[in-house]
Structure 1
Amino acid sequence: MKNMLKAERVDYIHQRLNELYPEPPIPLDHKDPYTLLVAVLLSAQCTDERVNQVTPALWQLADNPFDMAKKTPEQIKEIIRPCGLSPQKSKAIAKLSQILVEEHNGEVPADMDELEKLPGVGHKTAGVVMTQAFGQPAFPVDTHIHRLAQRWGLTNGKNVAQTEKDLKRLFPIESWNKLHLQIIYYGREYCSARGCDGTVCEICTTCYPNRKHPKKVLKP
């Protein structure tokens, strides 16, 4: 068997992920754009499961920017401590809540540039909010997506910005929002950092049946 050409890999990956995850759920529990924004911020270097365990207590403290802006970073930090990086994250949550109240009437802006201006909100976090809260096309690249895109020969993986560009070029815009979640779920279930080295899971072995050695992956 020959290794697939890139166009064949793209078609196969798209089709297989649609079969495995026809309607991938949003992994972070939330009820509106604000609670999603805070949950995504908390998920940096932390599992979604841990975030979902912590946020109910945080929403009891405050579940909107008007109430959160009245809380001190110390009050927030006590609750979010299990998520790690709690000093930085608590300050960011307090500050961005104040900015939303003062500059955006308490609404989360549906705009990448405005989101990226908020404390603690990087390009990936802004992309997740755009796609999952507002349904706008974006392709946020996390470590799972960065790793799998390299294993599947879709990018050279120099950095997450390059990976995002390459994936946007390869897949139709209407598929981006669902596809970024599908790849994350596949990465967790079948093609994890330790569970697959590019020669184990179904998609890796189908795309590259002749691959004899582990695929070296560049860290983001």
Structure 2
Amino acid sequence: MPFSIKPKLFIVTGSNGAGKSTYRQYLLPPEFSYLDVFDGDLFYTRKSIEFYKIHGSSKEARKQAEEALEQEFLRMVDHSVTQRIHFAYEGHFTGAGAWKIPQRFKAEGFEIHLIFCGLNTVTKSIKRVDERVKEGGFHVTPLAIQNNFYGNMEMLEKNYQMFNSVEILDTSSDQILQVAKLEHGRPMFSLPADEIPEWFKNGMPKLYDIVLAIDS
């Protein structure tokens, strides 16, 4: 889609272990690939290690890391909004509170674009996270992984119309597969119905029906 001169917000979301962090710089449109996508999990992990070295207490380190993450993220949001500069971040949107940030950007006149990375099963999501932890990555409990797997899709179904564009990607394999794209709630691209992943059909049935209309 052609981009206007308005400042842009890009959000990368989806299943845990879906490659949001790995691919995040490649998921943005080429003209915005220079943006540094803020990764809250990575920031939290680094701060946890930093505070643990200071206090020697995991509980205190986690507490201070959470506070530091919130402060830094809100600082970056405020800076982007007040300076009217492009911003990109990665996160989950399973609760209503998480939607306040994109709503704020939209109210401030930003274009908002969402990129959703999905996996075919919760089991694969858990396995990917376990592999990441073995390499020193961020740990997520199986319950949280399951909640994010379904909750992100459920909330996107309720809020997709607020975005200038929504791009659905499948990252179950080693290659990124574009499944569908909507602009202003209207379908612009979709794989043929028999090639659309089951997780998208079952997890976002409303959006599935919408993107199928592209061929009608």
TM-score by length of 1: 0.28
More strand by share: 2
